[in-house]
Amino acid sequence: MFKHLLFNLLFDDKSCSHWLVCDMKKFRCLLFFTRLLLNIQAIAQQQHPSPAQLYPGLFEQIQMQQVYTDGKTFVDARPKATPTAIMGAYRIEHVKPKFNLKNFAHQYFDVPAASSTGYQSNVAAGVRKHIDTLWKVLQHVADTVKGTSLLPLPYDYIVPGGRFREIYYWDSYFTMLGLAESKRYDLIESMVKNFAYLIDQYGHIPNGNRTYYLSRSQPPFFSLMVDLLAKYKGNKVFITYRPQLIKEYKYWMHGSAALKPGSAVEHTIRLADGSLLNRYWDSSTTPREESYREDVLTGRKTNQKLPNFYRNIRAAAESGWDFSSRWMADGKTLATLQTTSLAAVDLNSLLYHLETIIARSYTLSVNTKMAAFYQRKAALRKVAILKYCWDKKNGCFKDYQWQRKALSNQVSIAMVYPLFFNIANKEQASKVAALVQKQFLQRGGIATTTINTGQQWDAPNGWAPLQYMTIKGLQNYGHAALAKTIAQRWMNLNIASFKQTGKLLEKYDVQNGSPEAGGGEYPLQDGFGWTNGVLLKLMNDFK
């Protein structure tokens, strides 16, 4: 309650810069409350300790010795005793000559099951029936068993499937597209309420509802979820969730008011001309707990200072594109990740939408002053995106390397985000469409990049959310034939794969038209929330 009061004191819809000009007393008050808020947030994180914090020493040994093949297994495990009892036993046992770490782990922890364990699909019933059944299989109520890393949520939600046993932020929007086609508006509303709850509890929506995800978010699709829900419940939805929309916005913009040109803090970057853009970022500088061993081993190969490298790898995880040549300075090596050095074109397009939705909520409340305030923020961001992220030479949108004051060298399908949100002009959209057709269109849909690094967010892989964003972005500018071709190829690949395997998968090899997509830190997962949602949406849109 006190945390929410402080948030309202800090962010009362006035810009911090206005406070600075008007009253130095208010500025000192702002600094005081900012420090106090940060302390409270730190305390809140201490109240939800992660596995690395609960099991120091034991955690590192289990992860580095690969007691479990997948690093996510242990951080999701159910303890059979209290952390105090487990650590007490470990301190006594691990110094004994015959100590067996694997046996100890199995004695004190239960391994979690995959979300779709035990489900057998009926291929003969067809893919629509399969998706309709999977909504029930993947529907989940938060686990409240003490000692697990799962953060309880008050309402039902859909998990992606497989090793992903919790709600994921940006996945959920694309899952909701399918739920809407299935007329499961109740479940859409439940999930929106859960995300609003997370914002109120933690000041942002974490990557997923796990303690080890609290240090970062994911691409901010909450405003699109609210927009989707409003289509079925009316415009009052925009007003109902305005407090959470604003809180999320303040999370992404935190610290921006005091930024000097050519500097960055947390998620925000102020460019030389005073423009504000955003980057992906994580508040932690340690290896990811769910991929601890992988991060430690890769960290041994980097030339960066380890805290900087770990933040870059975590920021790439926040982007959802973990991992891709898009974030690599040399375009091919994970050890050269430079995520925090890039103003990401997709992130800034999403924040443009968030600003417009907040403005719309104020327009509906007939608050013209605040509507104009956020409309101006959106207008300024649009100008900055077009100025800094448009590559005139190559005819595409790219991320901007703010430290070098130059566009990134890497081309990716993230270029379609300004089309999806109607930021691009017609000439730019036509050039993007031409490049998509020439370099990204494959036999099974749209590839993520043109480079094959062995990472899962690179060629030859294609992903459901990026197919949808591309298709809708092209439709916005009249490129209907190309959009239809992409949709048909993606649907054909999904359905052919389902007939072959009985599954809908997390990603596909679109270049070879195969379900055997590779790359990444874990085996190919089935289920799969966003694939189900996008496929059902496209099947209905394209009949």
What is residue 272's predicted lDDT score, i.e. its pLDDT?
96
Active site residues: 322, 506
From 391, 396, 421, 388, select the one nearest 278 (Cα to Cα): 388
Cα distance between residue 155 and residue 145, in whole Å: 16
Report yes or no: 533 and 464 within 8 Å, Cβ to Cβ: yes
Cα distance between residue 53 and residue 139, in whole Å: 30
What is residue 315's predicted lDDT score, i.e. its pLDDT?
98
One digit per residue, the tens of pLDDT, for the chain of length 543 reads 334 444 444 444 444 434 334 444 544 544 454 444 444 445 555 679 999 999 999 999 999 999 999 999 999 999 999 999 999 999 999 999 999 999 999 999 999 887 665 678 899 999 999 999 999 999 987 666 567 999 999 999 999 999 999 999 999 999 999 999 999 999 999 999 999 999 999 999 999 999 999 999 999 999 999 999 999 999 999 999 999 999 999 999 999 999 999 999 999 999 999 999 999 999 999 999 999 999 999 999 999 999 999 999 999 999 999 999 999 999 999 999 999 999 999 999 999 999 999 999 999 999 999 999 999 999 999 999 999 999 999 999 999 999 999 999 999 999 999 999 999 999 999 999 999 999 999 999 999 999 999 999 999 999 999 999 999 999 999 999 999 999 999 999 999 999 999 999 999 999 999 988 988 888 889 899 999 999 999 999 998
What is residue 140's predicted lDDT score, i.e. its pLDDT?
85
What is residue 42's predicted lDDT score, i.e. its pLDDT?
53
What is residue 154's predicted lDDT score, i.e. its pLDDT?
93
Residue 375: helix, strand or coil by DSSP? helix
Whether omega for the bond prior to residue 460 falls within 30 degrees of 0, making it cis, is yes
Report yes or no: 55 and 86 within 8 Å, Cβ to Cβ: yes
Instruction: Pull the structure tokens for residue 92.
Output: 């006594």
What is residue 504's predicted lDDT score, i.e. its pLDDT?
95
Where helices occur in 320-411 by DSSP H, the ranges are 345-364, 368-388
Per-residue burial over 86-121, b = 16 or more CB atoms within 10 Å of its CB, e = otherwise: bbeebeeeeeeeeeeeeebbeebbeebeebbeebeb
Cα distance between residue 300 and residue 405, in whole Å: 29
What is residue 142's predicted lDDT score, i.e. its pLDDT?
60
Cα distance between residue 398 and residue 404, in whole Å: 14
Instruction: Pull the structure tokens for residue 356.
Output: 């417009």
DSSP 254: T
What is residue 9's predicted lDDT score, i.e. its pLDDT?
40
DSSP string, 93-142: HTTSTT--HHHHHHHHEEPPPPTTTT----GGG-HHHHHHHHHHHHEE--
Report yes or no: 413 and 440 within 8 Å, Cβ to Cβ: yes
From 473, 384, 386, select the one nearest 432 (Cα to Cα): 473
Report yes or no: 456 and 323 within 8 Å, Cβ to Cβ: yes
Report yes or no: 168 and 160 within 8 Å, Cβ to Cβ: yes
Burial of 407 (0-12, 13-18, 19+ CB in 10 A): buried
Residue 156's alpha-carbon distances to 159, 184, 329, in angstroms, are 10, 12, 41
Q: At residue 402, what are phi and psi to the nearest 5 degrees?
A: -70, -25
Cα distance between residue 490 and residue 219, in whole Å: 23
Cα distance between residue 215 and residue 284, in whole Å: 6
Cα distance between residue 432 and residue 391, in whole Å: 10
Instruction: Pull the structure tokens for residue 300.
Output: 């041994």
Per-residue burial over 373-398, b = 16 or more CB atoms within 10 Å of its CB, e = otherwise: bbbebbeebbebbeebbbbeeebbbb
What is residue 175's predicted lDDT score, i.e. its pLDDT?
98
Sign of the torsion formed by the C-alpha atoms of 135, 137, 141 and 143: negative
| CB neighbour list of residue 212: distance below 8 Å, 6 or more residues apart | 50, 51, 52, 75, 149, 288, 289, 290
What is residue 14's predicted lDDT score, i.e. its pLDDT?
41
What is residue 7's predicted lDDT score, i.e. its pLDDT?
41
What is residue 471's predicted lDDT score, i.e. its pLDDT?
99
